[in-house]
């Protein structure tokens, strides 16, 4: 068949139209000049190529549109504006294309006057994400016969409209924002054209146009003050195919930047490079390299804060009147897709492969996809693979695809909408084809010409589409002519009244169109005749909407909400300027004076509260001169007149400079704290959260942690602080000359200052939570265990470290004097008496002390560490915990899933280029650890290698090519932190002390220590920081991030801050802000339970926890207790795969330990099988919190 293509200009010539110009004043925007002409005896005005947004070019490519500014001279709107970047298709070869394309076109009939403002129909075009423009739809007859004003728009699509990095760097959905801005422009300005901005109907056709309309009625950003009605023609509605699958945007964006040579160190730089490329280069990638993949709308956390199905359940569509329908052969739209079906599918097997691939994308497993394919075979008279030829197979697939993605989803949309008592719901089914007059969009012989494919209803509404003539030119007296007249009347009636049955005067009497309701689901069937029907394709819609969901239901599926508030950057909000604020700081008779800080508003996503920040507040006298190597005391006099400036951060304490959470400058005068206080009107004080930084006692800086976001979300006063580290914080001579532990006592001093003065900032001194990370966590816990607290804090949060870690227990057992003497000798100071040593060291500069290497440091320990001084730290924490002689304070603790990968990485980066060691190298790491913590005994090394490198129970690892690297990382994480945390919980439970344990199982794209980590690392130490301090809602952190933050990042962040907030307020944490009834159970050493912190937090046992508990605290601990010095005798090889040479006595011990271990493992396997059978019987016991 041959299609006849006519341009809009040619059409106007054919109907003998001549133009004059007309001018309209559009208020503050300025004057606009359009065309005036006669059409069918009526005077029409049209305004073409009207810009509703600034050009989305340069730095504004891949960004939300900006409203069009006023034009200075009269705007010429007599010709169409350019279409957005695309590759023209047949019939549209002369289409003008430019990236400056955000235009709309307005068609005004003669009935529109200042006294008779007409309703507006705004049309959103769509043609398979391939090629379209508002200029390809001319609807003068609809405008006149309505009478209504018609507006058609352009918007960005493909890469320009939906490019995304799956995070806030390039969040995507720009095309949807274009549509929304166009609607806003019409609402605000259509009055100048005698249109009624309070009666707007948005209309769309096809997967992009119609589903664009569905997007606008689903997003919580819109309401019926923006538009009032919607017409949805052939939409996939809430079908998952409309939304970009997880990871697709990341994959496609990487292909794009690689193809265009824009792959650089960060996405910020990648974007800058992409913005310099021509639009032609990018379009070429769309249609070549990306092939069948393309950028699509995504759940960005703002335009779509949740899945489309969940948004539908919010009943947001109920505020609009809705008319929606489908055509009888929706599935045949696949013939108009990216892929030439005839070339791509040569056999029935090819068709099945495509159908399976398409199905597999929707379900969580191959098993589910096969179940669905088998069910489809039964319902659609298959099996598909047994059909005789390709044509039959394709028709089978078209039927399935159309029913699944269009028919059932449209009915689902309507079923929800008809629940609204205040708006109207109508459905149509279009089943008419006029082959004789060539009113067809697809001429492929594979299609069924007795059924209407998607878009063919447009021939009976518009004057021209895609450059094609329509039924405007239908033969007089033909069915097509009468059908067009009826459809135009139905559609324009709905635009005018929200009801297709309410006609204007002198209009034809139409067949009554019944409302779609729950009882009958009635619809209008538009075919050779117009009739009504009910329950359209009921057996097939029931199959897709009821049977398939039940068939594929996953009992273990998470049921928590994935919704997280959007960030201000995603909202497009600009940063507010800083405002200064002044506070009086006093307590009783102690008055420090006035202090100047900065008032800032936090991100709306975390409450948007006003936060006063005061940075660089001294809490103790500078620890310099004689105060070096002495305990600090609370500063009660700032010693300066006037107002103290606290608007700038103070330097960190002396350390090796590092850009990652450390200091970029340091000064020995460093004992400062920073306060972030919400502005409150209540007189009662807010909870106080005091953050103590990490850094293994040798680095770190409290000032780099901005507490604004956490303070706003938790409605608490957040304090961060510095304390002395390294030699200046922990040098000890083992006597009174330099007792050590100055850094710990600095924290005590800071807590004392907070007790005295925090009331001046709105804080409650009786509700203080010490919140430590890493070494900061150990300090917080030590203070309570060693009775230093004295009501300074009431709760403890300890993340990423344990007070009974072997690193701290072993370090504290060393004689600290040896390291003090090494430092003194290197700096030409006497080694005795110790008083002389200390006196001399006080004369040396901090730089000299910092730069002097001292033996005793390694990846596990530093030369200068906390010591058991007998006064403040009386004995080791494991002994104190075992005795029960310590203060009862609620403890919240935990770590990332594999916390010490950062330590593993430091081993590997120094020696293994790709971060993937072999077993020999991994064994050497174990040997190193055994040398430090187990006296170098080969028995321990043998057991560790067997358990971590040889055991079949090793966890499934994500990158099989680097399995050994992950196994050795697990060993180090268990040694350093994971197993000590389990033991801490066990010891506390003996005395009914509560410990809440979490495990961060979320795998972020942004790692704090990314530069050190191999590619296989999924979680590491420090991954807690961004979530605890709300970095996905911190403007500066978002802009600095190598990769932006996604909605999933924001959800995990909210969960994390909820955990901190509720614990600080009540002593009982929650990690599920959407379920206040959820109860987090304290750690039970018999259940090994923890909260697994992810998008959907769940309480569950820690993987392999029982096995590891027995291995470490029965096998290893037992061996350690009984091990004695070995007699010298000739070694014999007892384990060829490990290759150890052991004495017979050593061999006996190892064999005995191995027998015990293997027996335990066998028992655990039997127990695991038994539990799995139990879980199959009752699968309801592991539900999200």
Residue 332 DSSP code: G
Say how far apart CA 516 and CA 524 lie, in whole Å. 9
**Residue 1143: pLDDT band with limits 50, 70, 90:** low
Whichever domain contains 830, its CATH number is: 3.40.50.1820
Residue 511 forms part of a structural domain: no
Q: 826 and 700 in one domain? A: yes
- Specify the DSSP element, H or E, that contains 641: none
Q: 74 and 186 in one domain? A: yes
In terms of phi and psi (left: phi > 0; alpha: psi -120 to 50; beta: otherwise), the region of 925 is alpha
Q: Is residue 991 over pLDDT 80?
A: yes
Q: 1137 and 1047 in one domain? A: no
- Given the DSSP bridges, would you call strands 530-534 and 579-587 parallel, antiparallel or unpaired? unpaired
For 911, the token pair is 């020696």
Show which of 323, 352, 367 is a domain's final residue. 323
**To the nearest whole number, what is the mean pLDDT of the chain?**
87
Show which of 1082, 1102, 1122 is a domain's final residue. 1122
Nearest of 858, 932, 946 to residue 1155 by alpha carbon: 946
**Residue 1145: pLDDT band with limits 50, 70, 90:** low
* Average of per-residue pLDDT across 400-425: 96
- Specify the DSSP element, H or E, that contains 46: strand 42-51
Q: Is residue 556 over pLDDT 50?
A: no
Say how far apart CA 945 and CA 971 lie, in whole Å. 9
Q: 734 and 793 in one domain? A: yes
Angle in degrees, CA 248, 174, 241, rounded to 5: 40
For 904, the token pair is 């593993």
Q: 802 and 935 in one domain? A: no
Q: Of 271-285, 978-992, 1015-1029, 1051-1065, which gets the smallest average pLDDT?
A: 1015-1029
For 1095, the token pair is 């998008």
Query: What's the confidence (pLDDT) of residue 67?
Result: 97
Say how far apart CA 1074 and CA 1055 lie, in whole Å. 9
On whether the CB atoms of residues 996 and 1084 are closer than 8 A, the answer is no
Cα 898 to chain center, whole Å? 21
pTM of the model: 0.77
Show which of 323, 352, 378 is a domain's final residue. 323
**Which residues pair with residue 946 across a beta bridge?**
none
Say how far apart CA 49 and CA 576 lie, in whole Å. 35
Residue 796 DSSP code: E
Residue 546 forms part of a structural domain: no
Query: What's the confidence (pLDDT) of residue 412?
Result: 97
Q: Is residue 954 over pLDDT 70?
A: no
Residue 654 forms part of a structural domain: yes
Q: 984 and 842 in one domain? A: no
Q: Of 112-126, 156-170, 193-207, which gets the smallest average pLDDT?
A: 156-170
Residue 566 forms part of a structural domain: no
Residue 54 forms part of a structural domain: yes
**Residue 663: pLDDT band with limits 50, 70, 90:** low
On whether the CB atoms of residues 584 and 600 are closer than 8 A, the answer is no
Say how far apart CA 1086 and CA 1094 lie, in whole Å. 24
Residue 408 forms part of a structural domain: no
- SS3 track for 1117-1163: HHHHHHCCCCCCCCCEEEECCCCEEECHHHHHHHHHHHHHHHHHHHH
Q: Is residue 1137 over pLDDT 80?
A: no
The SS3 call for residue 124 is: strand
Q: 1147 and 1107 in one domain? A: no
Query: What's the confidence (pLDDT) of residue 374?
Result: 93
Q: 924 and 875 in one domain? A: no
Percentage of residues in the chain with pLDDT exceeding 70? 87
Domain, as residue range, for 1166: 1132-1177
Q: Is residue 115 over pLDDT 90?
A: yes
Query: What's the confidence (pLDDT) of residue 559?
Result: 54
Query: What's the confidence (pLDDT) of residue 1180?
Result: 39
Q: 242 and 195 in one domain? A: yes
Instruction: Give the total number of structural domains in the chain.
Output: 4
Query: What's the confidence (pLDDT) of residue 345?
Result: 87
**Residue 1124: pLDDT band with limits 50, 70, 90:** very low
Say how far apart CA 728 and CA 850 lie, in whole Å. 8
For 799, the token pair is 């993340």
Q: 166 and 69 in one domain? A: yes
Residue 729 forms part of a structural domain: yes
On whether the CB atoms of residues 196 and 119 are closer than 8 A, the answer is yes
- Angle of helix 279-287 relative to helix 248-259, nearest 10 degrees, comes to 120
Say how far apart CA 326 and CA 412 lie, in whole Å. 13
On whether the CB atoms of residues 211 and 296 are closer than 8 A, the answer is no
Residue 879 forms part of a structural domain: yes
Say how far apart CA 210 and CA 232 lie, in whole Å. 5
Say how far apart CA 987 and CA 1031 lie, in whole Å. 35
Angle in degrees, CA 296, 299, 302, rounded to 5: 120
Nearest of 640, 797, 666, 823 to residue 731 by alpha carbon: 823
Residue 304 DSSP code: S
- Specify the DSSP element, H or E, that contains 781: helix 775-785
- Given the DSSP bridges, would you call strands 891-896 and 795-799 parallel, antiparallel or unpaired? parallel
Q: 883 and 899 in one domain? A: no
For 415, the token pair is 């079923």
Question: Which ranges in 898-962 belong to alpha helices (H)?
Answer: 901-911, 919-933, 938-945
DSSP states of 65-107 as a string?
A: --BPPPPSSPEE-SSPPPBPS----TT-TT--B-S---EEEEE
- Given the DSSP bridges, would you call strands 579-587 and 590-601 parallel, antiparallel or unpaired? antiparallel
* Average of per-residue pLDDT across 517-524: 93
Q: How many CA atoms lie within 13 A of 423 on its CB side?
A: 22
Burial class (CB in 10 A: 0-12, 13-18, 19+), 564: buried
Nearest of 150, 161, 99, 154 to residue 132 by alpha carbon: 154
Q: 95 and 236 in one domain? A: yes
């Amino acid at each position: 068949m041959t299609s006849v293509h006519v341009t809009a200009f040619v059409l106007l010539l054919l109907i003998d139209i001549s133009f004059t110009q007309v001018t309209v004043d559009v208020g503050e925007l300025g004057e606009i000049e359009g065309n005036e002409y006669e059409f069918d005896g009526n005077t029409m005005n049209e305004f073409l190529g009207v810009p509703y947004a600034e050009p989305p070019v340069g730095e504004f490519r891949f960004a939300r549109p900006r409203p069009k500014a006023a034009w200075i001279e009269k705007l010429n709107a007599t010709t169409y504006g350019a279409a957005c970047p695309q590759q023209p298709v047949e019939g549209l070869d002369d289409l003008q294309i430019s990236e400056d394309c955000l235009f709309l076109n307005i068609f005004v009939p003669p009935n529109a006057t200042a006294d008779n403002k007409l309703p507006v129909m705004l049309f959103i075009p769509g043609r398979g994400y391939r090629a379209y423009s508002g200029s390809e739809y001319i609807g003068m007859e609809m405008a006149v016969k309505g009478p209504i004003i018609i507006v058609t728009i352009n918007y960005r699509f493909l890469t320009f409209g939906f490019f995304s990095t799956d995070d806030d760097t390039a969040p995507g959905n720009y095309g949807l924002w274009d549509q929304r801005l166009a609607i806003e422009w019409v609402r605000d300005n259509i009055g100048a054209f005698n249109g009624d901005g309070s009666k707007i109907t948005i209309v769309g056709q096809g997967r992009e146009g119609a589903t664009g309309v569905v997007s606008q009625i689903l997003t919580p950003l819109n309401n019926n003050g923006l538009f009032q009605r919607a017409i949805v023609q052939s939409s996939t509605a809430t079908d998952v195919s409309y939304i970009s699958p997880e990871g697709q945007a990341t994959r496609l964006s990487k292909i794009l930047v690689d193809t265009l040579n824009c792959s650089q160190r960060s996405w910020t730089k990648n974007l800058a490079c992409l913005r310099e490329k021509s639009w032609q280069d990018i379009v070429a990638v769309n249609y070549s390299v990306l092939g069948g993949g393309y950028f699509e709308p995504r759940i960005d956390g703002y335009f779509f804060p949740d899945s489309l199905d969940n948004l539908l359940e919010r009943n947001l569509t109920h505020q609009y009147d809705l008319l929606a329908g489908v055509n009888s052969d929706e599935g045949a739209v696949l013939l108009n897709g990216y892929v030439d079906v005839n070339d791509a599918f040569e056999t029935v097997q090819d068709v099945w492969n495509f159908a399976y691939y398409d199905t597999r994308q929707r379900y969580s497993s191959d098993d589910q996809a096969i179940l669905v394919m088998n069910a489809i075979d039964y319902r659609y008279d298959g099996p598909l693979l047994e059909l005789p030829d390709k044509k039959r197979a394709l028709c089978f697939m078209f039927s399935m695809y159309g029913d699944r993605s269009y028919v059932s989803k449209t009915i689902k949309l309507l079923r929800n909408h008809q629940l609204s008592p205040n708006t109207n719901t109508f459905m149509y089914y279009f089943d008419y084809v006029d082959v004789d007059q060539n009113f067809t969009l697809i001429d492929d012989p594979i299609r069924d010409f007795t059924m209407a494919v998607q878009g063919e209803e447009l021939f009976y509404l518009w004057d021209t589409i895609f450059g094609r003539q329509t039924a405007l030119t239908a033969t007089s007296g033909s069915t097509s002519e009468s059908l067009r007249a009826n459809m135009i009347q139905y559609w324009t009636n709905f635009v005018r009244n929200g009801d297709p049955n309410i006609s204007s005067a002198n209009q034809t009497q139409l067949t009554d169109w019944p409302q779609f309701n729950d009882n009958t689901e009635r619809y209008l069937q538009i075919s050779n005749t117009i009739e009504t029907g009910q329950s359209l394709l009921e057996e097939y819609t029931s199959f897709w909407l009821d049977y398939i969901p039940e068939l594929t239901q996953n009992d273990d599926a998470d049921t928590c909400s994935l919704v997280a508030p959007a960030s201000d950057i995603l909202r497009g909000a600009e940063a507010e300027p800083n405002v200064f604020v002044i506070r009086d700081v006093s307590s009783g008779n102690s008055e420090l004076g006035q202090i100047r800080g900065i008032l800032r508003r936090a991100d709306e996503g975390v409450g948007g509260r006003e936060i006063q920040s005061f940075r660089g507040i001294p809490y103790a006298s500078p620890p310099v001169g004689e105060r070096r190597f002495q305990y600090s005391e609370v500063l009660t006099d700032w010693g300066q007149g006037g107002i103290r400036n606290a608007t700038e951060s103070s330097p960190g304490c002396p350390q090796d400079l590092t850009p990652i959470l450390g200091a970029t400058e340091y000064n020995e005068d460093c004992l400062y704290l920073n306060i972030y206080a919400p502005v409150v009107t209540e007189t009662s004080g807010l909870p106080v959260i005091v953050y103590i930084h990490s850094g293994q006692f040798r680095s770190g800086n409290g000032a780099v942690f901005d507490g604004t976001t956490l303070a706003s979300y938790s409605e608490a006063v957040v304090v961060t602080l510095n304390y002395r580290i390294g030699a200046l914080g922990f040098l000890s001579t083992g006597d009174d000359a330099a007792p050590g532990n100055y850094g710990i006592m600095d924290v005590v001093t800071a807590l004392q200052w907070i007790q005295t003065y925090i009331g001046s900032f709105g804080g409650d001194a009786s509700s203080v939570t010490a919140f430590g990370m890493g070494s900061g966590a150990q300090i917080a816990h030590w203070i309570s265990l060693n009775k230093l607290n004295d009501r300074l804090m009431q709760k403890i949060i300890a993340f990423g470290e344990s007070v009974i870690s072997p690193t701290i227990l072993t370090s504290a057992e060393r004689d600290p004097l040896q390291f003090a003497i090494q430092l003194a000798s290197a700096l030409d100071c006497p080694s005795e008496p110790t008083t002389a040593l200390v006196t001399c060291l006080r004369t040396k500069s901090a730089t000299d002390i910092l730069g002097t290497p001292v033996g005793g440091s390694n990846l596990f320990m530093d030369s200068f560490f906390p010591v058991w001084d007998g006064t403040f730290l009386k004995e080791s924490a494991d002994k104190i915990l075992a005795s029960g002689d310590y203060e009862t304070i609620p403890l919240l603790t935990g770590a990332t899933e594999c916390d010490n990968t950062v330590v593993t990485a430091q081993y590997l980066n120094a020696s293994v280029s790709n971060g993937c060691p072999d077993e020999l190298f991994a064994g050497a790491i174990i040997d190193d650890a055994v040398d430090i913590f187990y006296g170098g005994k080969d028995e321990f090394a043998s057991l560790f290698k067997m358990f971590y490198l040889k055991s079949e129970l090793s966890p499934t690892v994500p990158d099989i090519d680097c399995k050994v690297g992950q196994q050795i990382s697990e060993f180090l994480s268990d040694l350093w932190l994971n197993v000590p945390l389990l033991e801490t919980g066990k010891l506390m439970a003996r005395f009914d002390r509560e410990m809440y344990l979490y495990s961060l199982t979320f795998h972020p794209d942004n790692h704090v220590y990314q530069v050190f980590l191999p590619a296989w690392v999924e979680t590491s130490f420090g991954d807690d920081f961004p979530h605890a301090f709300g970095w996905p809602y911190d403007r500066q952190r978002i802009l600095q991030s190598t990769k932006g933050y996604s909605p999933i990042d924001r959800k995990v962040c909210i969960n994390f801050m909820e955990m901190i907030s509720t614990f600080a307020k009540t002593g009982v944490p929650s990690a599920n802000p959407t379920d206040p009834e959820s109860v987090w159970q304290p750690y039970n050493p018999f259940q090994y339970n923890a909260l697994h912190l992810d998008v959907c937090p769940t309480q569950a046992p820690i993987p392999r926890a029982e096995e590891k508990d027995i291995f470490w605290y029965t096998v290893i601990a037992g061996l350690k207790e009984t091990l004695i010095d070995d007699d010298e005798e000739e070694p014999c090889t007892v384990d060829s795969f490990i290759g150890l040479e052991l004495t017979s006595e050593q061999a006996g011990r190892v064999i005995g330990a191995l027998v015990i271990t293997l027996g335990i493992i066998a028992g655990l396997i039997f127990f695991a099988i038994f539990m799995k059978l139990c879980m199959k019987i009752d699968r309801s016991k592991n539900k999200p919190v």
